[in-house]
Amino acid sequence: MNKTWWKEAVVYQIYPRSFQDSNGDGIGDLNGIRQRLDYLKRLGIDVIWLSPVCQSPNDDNGYDISNYQDIMNEFGSMKDFDDLLREAHEKGIKILLDLVVNHTSDEHSWFLESRKGRENPYRDYYIWKEGKEDGGCPNNWGSCFSGSAWEYDSQTQMYYLHLFSKKQPDLNWENPKVRDEVFEMMDWWCEKGIDGFRMDVISMISKDQAFPDGEVKDGLYGDFTPYSIHGPRVHEYLKEMNRRVLSKYDLMTVGETAGVTIEEAKKYAGEAQEELNMVFHFEHVESDGELGKWTDQKPNLLKLKQILSKWQIELENSAWNSLYWDNHDQPRAVSRFGNDSSEFRELSAKMLATCLHMMKGTPYIYQGEELGMTNYPFSDISQFQDIESKNAYEELVGGGHTSQERMMEYLRCKSRDNARTPMQWNDKEQAGFTNGIPWLAVNPNFKEINADQQIEDPASVFSYYKKLIALRKKYDVIVYGDYELILPEDTRVFAYIRSLGKERILVICNFTEQEVSVTIPEIDRIEEKEYLIHNYKGKSSMHQGILKPYEAAAIYWKK
C-alpha cells in the first residue's frame, strides 16, 4: 500500500455558520475561522474540510449554491477566503472545499436562464420532463427532504428534478457543457491553491435516463436510489474529472457516496481507479432507521462492529477508508453512540474517540466532537432551522404517519440541527460564539462543556483527542497496520488488533455503562505492555479481563 499524506492526515470539519462569528450578526464567518486557527493547530489536525462557503440563498445552509466563484455574503469576501487559506497554509494546515455539484441553487444564473424557455441555451443544464398524461409528476420519486422530487414550473409547463429541496435543482451531467463548466470552476479553485474537495452526494450525479418509478416504501413516495445512486455513467464522469482536473494537482478527495457498498467503494476509491482518494460510507450511521431515517433507538453494537470491521477488512490493500462518527448531517457522536449523562459523557466520548482513531483510514473530527459536545434538548418544532427536520415534521405529523410526540423524540435523537448548534468556546454569553443573537440557539450546557475549560486540562476530552492525533503521527501501525476484530460475538465490547511488521496495538472499548468481564487473547501479558492511551486515571484491571464502564485503551507491544 502506497504511503501518501492524505492517508496520514487527520481532518477537522468546520460548519462555518456555527463555528465563530467575528462581527456580531449571529452567523459564523471566515474571519471567525481565522481567529481560531491557533486552536486547531493546538489540537494538531492537518486538514480542514470547510462546509460550503460559496454564494447561496441558504435554503439548505450553503448546499444550494448560486455562484461557485464568490463567497457567501454572510461569511465574508474572497479576500477573507484568500487570507484564511494563506494563514492556514502558514500553519501547515490544508483546506478542502465542499464541492456541491449534483445540484445548484434555483437562484444560480444557469437555472434562472434554464427556466426561461424550452429553447434557452441553458435549458439542458438541468433535468426537465413533461408531466404524465394525467398531468401528474414525471415519476413517483420522493425527494430527500420530503415531497415529490419534481417541481412543476408554470412558465414552460414542465417539471424539473430536485433530489433535495425544490430550491436545489439537479444538474444534468449528461450535458457535456455542464461538465465543462464544473471542471473549469474546480480548476479555478485549484489554481487558487486549495488542497482538495469533499464532494457532496457525488454518487448521485448520473441518473438512469429512463427515469422509472421507484418502489414505494412507508406509503409515501417512490425510492429513487436504484436509479440515481451509482448511476450508469458516474464512474465515467469521475474518471473524466480526474483526468481533466484532479490529476493535475496534489489533492485530497473524498466522495460523499450515500448508498455506497464495498464493491462500489472500490470503484470510486480504488488505488488504481483514478477517481477519488476515499469515500464516506453511511452503513454505520444509517443502520438504525424506523420511519425512513427516523428512530429514537440506540444503535446496536454487534451490528456496528460488523459494519465497521467489514469496511476495515474488505478495503484492505485495495481502497482507503474514511472514519467518522458524526458530521453536520448526523446527531452528536457522544449522544448517539456513547452516553451524554454528566456521569459518563467524558468517559464515553474518549472511548468512542479511541475506537475510531485507532482504526485504519483517515479520521474526520466534526467541530465540537473534540469537546464532547452533545445533542440539544429540543422541546418544540419552532426551535428547528433545518429544512430536512422541518419538512419531515410537516409531512410525517401533518400526514398522520406518526404522532407529534413521537416525531419530537425522533428529532431530538436524529435531527441535523443537533450538530449545528454553535461551537462552545467559553462560559461567557452565547458561549463566546457571537456578541449578537446566534442563528441557532447555543446548547444550554455550554458552562460545563466548552473549549476554554478543556484546552489546558490534561484530563479533558480535548487533550485526549490531541493525544490520539499525536499518536497517529508517531506510530505507522496506526496508519498502515492490518486490522483484526477480536471478540466478534461480544455485545458489550469492541476490541481489535492492529499489526504492522513486529508492531501490535490492542484496542479495547467497553460500550456500556456497566463493568464487564471478558477473555481477551494476550490479556495476561497486558501488564508488561505499554498503554498508548487510556481513558481512566490510575491502574486498570484490564489484565484481569475486567473493564470499567466505558473503559477504553490502546495497548502497544512488539512481537
Residues marked active site are found at 200, 256
Contact pick of 15, 16, 19, 21 for Ca ion (by CB under 5 A): 21
The CB-of-22 to Ca ion minimum distance in angstroms stands at 6
Per CB under 6 A, does 408 bind ligand TEU?
A: no
For residue 8, what are the contacts with CB-CB under 8 A and spacing of at least 6?
46, 472, 473, 479
Nearest CA-CA partner of 450 in 431, 476, 435? 431
Q: Which helix (H) or strand (E) holds 501?
A: none
CA 48 – CA 12 distance, rounded (Å): 5
- When CB distances are held under 5 to 8 angstroms depending on the partner's kind, the choice from Ca ion, ligand TEU, none that residue 27 binds is Ca ion
User: How many CA atoms are closer than 13 Å to the CA of 160, on its beta-carbon side?
Assistant: 30
Per CB under 6 A, does 269 bind ligand TEU?
A: no
Under 8 Å between Cβ of 486 and 521: yes
Per CB under 5 A, does 80 bind Ca ion?
A: no
Under 8 Å between Cβ of 481 and 498: yes
Per CB under 6 A, does 150 bind ligand TEU?
A: no
Give the count of residues interacting with ligand TEU (CB under 6 A).
14
Per CB under 6 A, does 50 bind ligand TEU?
A: no
The CB-of-265 to ligand TEU minimum distance in angstroms stands at 15
Question: For residue 420, which amino acid is it?
Answer: R
How long a stretch of residues is the chain?
559
Give the DSSP per-residue string, 396-453.
HHHTTSS-HHHHHHHHHHH-THHHHSPP---SSGGGGS-SS--SSPPPGGGGTS-HHH
Per CB under 6 A, which of residues 164..183 are in contact with ligand TEU?
Answer: 164
Per CB under 6 A, does 201 bind ligand TEU?
A: yes
- When CB distances are held under 5 to 8 angstroms depending on the partner's kind, the choice from Ca ion, ligand TEU, none that residue 21 binds is Ca ion
Give the count of residues interacting with Ca ion (CB under 5 A).
5
Per CB under 6 A, does 60 bind ligand TEU?
A: yes
Per CB under 6 A, does 258 bind ligand TEU?
A: yes
Grid coordinates representing 519 are 477473555
CA 33 – CA 50 distance, rounded (Å): 10
In the block, residue with C-alpha cell 490544508: 94
The CB-of-395 to ligand TEU minimum distance in angstroms stands at 14
- When CB distances are held under 5 to 8 angstroms depending on the partner's kind, the choice from Ca ion, ligand TEU, none that residue 200 binds is ligand TEU
Per CB under 6 A, which of residues 90..119 are in contact with ligand TEU?
Answer: 100
The CB-of-82 to ligand TEU minimum distance in angstroms stands at 25
Per CB under 6 A, does 80 bind ligand TEU?
A: no
Per CB under 6 A, does 388 bind ligand TEU?
A: yes
CA 72 – CA 58 distance, rounded (Å): 9
The CB-of-168 to ligand TEU minimum distance in angstroms stands at 6
- When CB distances are held under 5 to 8 angstroms depending on the partner's kind, the choice from ligand TEU, Ca ion, none that residue 293 binds is ligand TEU
Per CB under 6 A, which of residues 288..307 are in contact with ligand TEU?
Answer: 293
Contact pick of 15, 63, 337, 464 for ligand TEU (by CB under 6 A): 63
Nearest CA-CA partner of 359 in 464, 468, 460, 272? 468
Q: For strand 482-486 and strand 47-50, is the pairing parallel, antiparallel, or unpaired?
A: unpaired
Binding span for Ca ion by CB under 5 A among 29-37, 63-71, 292-300, 484-492: 29-37
Residues 470, 473, 476, 482, CA torsion sign: positive
- Rank residues 251 and 258 by Cβ distance to ligand TEU and give the closer one: 258
CA 104 – CA 121 distance, rounded (Å): 17
The CB-of-258 to ligand TEU minimum distance in angstroms stands at 4
- Rank residues 144 and 431 by Cβ distance to ligand TEU and give the closer one: 144
List interacting residues with ligand TEU (CB under 6 A): 60, 63, 100, 144, 164, 200-201, 256, 258, 293, 328-329, 388, 416
